[in-house]
Structure formats: structure tokens, C-alpha cells
Structure 1
Amino acid sequence: MLSATIYGCALINFDRPIADFNVSHSREAGQSGPLIDGSYLVWLGPEALPAIERAMLLRPTDRGLASDRDRLLAQQQSSMASWRSWSFRGWRLQRYLDTHPVSQKPS
């Protein structure tokens, strides 16, 4: 049972649901939670890119979040380019990014 649990957790991307929850329940999204913490979203890593995209739509003037997003995109692409750093979660994220192109930088 322990092996099945560990194996199952290896395939689950915990950072993405955490980031999605934080953005969905933020004040910018009209909820009663705290403001979006962009540095925390970036700390979660490339797996938080879909939530960062939504946060950028809620805060279009946040230039720092856009540059951090670009850095995380580059990190994701470099990790997928190397067979040594390839992972199932990274592959799933890359598949998502390929089907949902990133928004343009705010001007």
C-alpha cells in the first residue's frame, strides 16, 4: 500500500493545484483571500505557469510577474530539451503549454 501511495504521488503535480487555489481564492479574483503572492507562485516553479498566466490576467500591470513567467518558461523548455531532466510531470506541463499558448506581455 505504501509503494502504491508513493508511486501515485510521484505522478501528481502538487504545485499546480496549490497555485491554482491561491489565485482562485485571492482578492484580485473577487474572493476574500489574501492578495496574490507572485514571488510564492514563482517559487513553486514551472508547474505553476498556468496559475501565473491567470494571475497576470488579474494583475495586468505587474511587470515582474511577466519577467518571472518568461524565466520559468525558459527553465521548462531547457529541462524538456535534456533527456536527463525529462519527467512525466514536465512532459504533461509542456503538453499543456503547447496547447495553451502563453499570453502576450502586458504593454
Structure 2
Amino acid sequence: MGDQIFLLSVLCMKDSWRAGIPDKDKTELVTSGIYRFSRNPEFLGFDMMYFGVLLMYCNLLTGFFTAFAVVTLHLQILQEEKYLAGVFGKEYREYRKRVFRYLGRKRS
């Protein structure tokens, strides 16, 4: 399921997909498709993959790697949110009011 969520997020992102925070690339804010339900579906997909591996092997080593990955990905999200707020301003702030960071829409 994590793989499918990640793939869907990449397909919805189209030309705005970037690895990391772009310094010079101008992208559009994507709020449609799966991004209507999660501001970070690609990271949600990764987290689900790590938790799936943890459930399959359920040992301290996979527990450590899962925790490390989830924390690292969350820190990446926080950096991207600062970048998006700076680049897209009000449009991004309004989007944040409507859609949760990981999963779900806020009631209006």
C-alpha cells in the first residue's frame, strides 16, 4: 500500500516533482489528486513501507531503522514546509488550513 501511495503522489506531482528542496527550479503548488488528502503523501507512503517491513521482520534492527527513517522524513517535511510557505505564501497557508500534514482533510 505504501508503494501505491508513493507512486500515486509522484504521478499527481507531474513536472513539479523534485528530490530535495530546489534552489532555482520554479514549480507549481500541487493540491489536487492525492494531495487533496495529504500534504505529504510521498512521505506517508515511505513511512508505510518502513512500518510494513517492521511488521514483517519485527526485530530491534528493523525497529531502529523504521524509527530513524520516520524521524528523518519528518524533519525533511518540516524543511519543505518552510520552503513552500516562503515560495507560495498565502496559497500554501490556505492549503495547510484545509489538508493535514500526513492524512486527512480538516473540516471547514
Q: Which has the higher contact order (CA 8 A, sep 6+)?
A: 2
The answer to whether the superposition gives a TM-score over 0.5 is no
Q: TM-score, length-normalised on structure 1? A: 0.38
Q: TM-score, length-normalised on structure 2? A: 0.38
